[in-house]
Amino acid sequence: MTAAYQRILLKLSGEALMGEDAYGINQEVVSRIVAEVAEVSRLGVQVGVVIGGGNIFRGMAGAASGMDRATADYMGMLATVMNAMALADAMRAAGLNARVQSALRIDQVVEPYIRGKAIRYLEEGRVVVFGAGTGNPFFTTDTAAALRGAEIGAQIVLKATKVDGIYTADPKLDSSAERFSRISFDEAIARDLKVLDATAFALCRDQKLPINVFSIFKPGALKRVVTGEDEGTLVYC
């Protein structure tokens, strides 16, 4: 089976690693996600991953209450590095060659983000997991995914969620809601659909970088997306 994309940027929320747990990392869920990534990597697809930290930061929510926003955001960035390390370790255990790059310098733990080195790793067939978001407070990991996707020359940003696409309404509240197979950036804006946060969405639109929103919990969904099948919702330019 031929892949439709040579290089992708996969955006994983920290919550995707929790499974049914309240917070933390569910190893069974991580192993399932890694298996999905390994499947597309074997097709020759170059995979970059941006991961959030909400699963770990939930456990610190009480301590972070009332904290200065910038300080809380930096703590969140550190949480994403922890997730990136856990994900890369699981990938290596599954036989994938993975590297972690951090937008914050923690040289004793992971290497710093260097665009040229990241691209070289991808060309060598390694999975690159980007931690610490953009390295700046007030920017989400959605924005980091759009930024890294544009920087490494990804052909698409894949946003992995718990829902299998973008719907006309919330499918949990409205059983008649229909999934969009494809939708343009302009129509998504007109309908006020929350695809990515506004900054990330604008960056993808300006860079003509398409987005696909799909469910990472649907077996084989990632492979179907990268092979161009009707999976998730494609937001196109």
pLDDT tens digits for range 18-67: 877 777 888 998 999 999 999 999 999 999 999 998 777 665 555 556 78
| Contact of 159 with 12, CB cutoff 8 Å | no
Percent pLDDT > 90 in the chain is 71
Residue 51 pLDDT = 95
Most confident of 26-35, 158-167, 203-212: 203-212
Whether the per-residue pLDDT at 202 is higher than 70: the answer is yes
Any binding-site annotation on 135? yes
Mean per-residue pLDDT, 130-156:
96
Q: Which of 209, 193, 198, 200 is nearest to 145 (CA)?
A: 200
Cα separation of 185 and 187, whole Å?
6
**Angle formed by the axes of helices 115-123 and 141-151, to 10°?**
70
Any binding-site annotation on 141? yes
Any binding-site annotation on 2? no
Any binding-site annotation on 58? yes
Any binding-site annotation on 227? no
Taken in order of first residue, the domains within the chain and their CATH numbers are: 7-236 (3.40.1160.10)
Query: What pTM was computed for the model?
Result: 0.93
Any binding-site annotation on 181? no
Any binding-site annotation on 153? no
Any binding-site annotation on 14? yes
Burial environment of residue 81 by CB neighbours within 10 A (0 to 12, 13 to 18, 19 or more)? buried
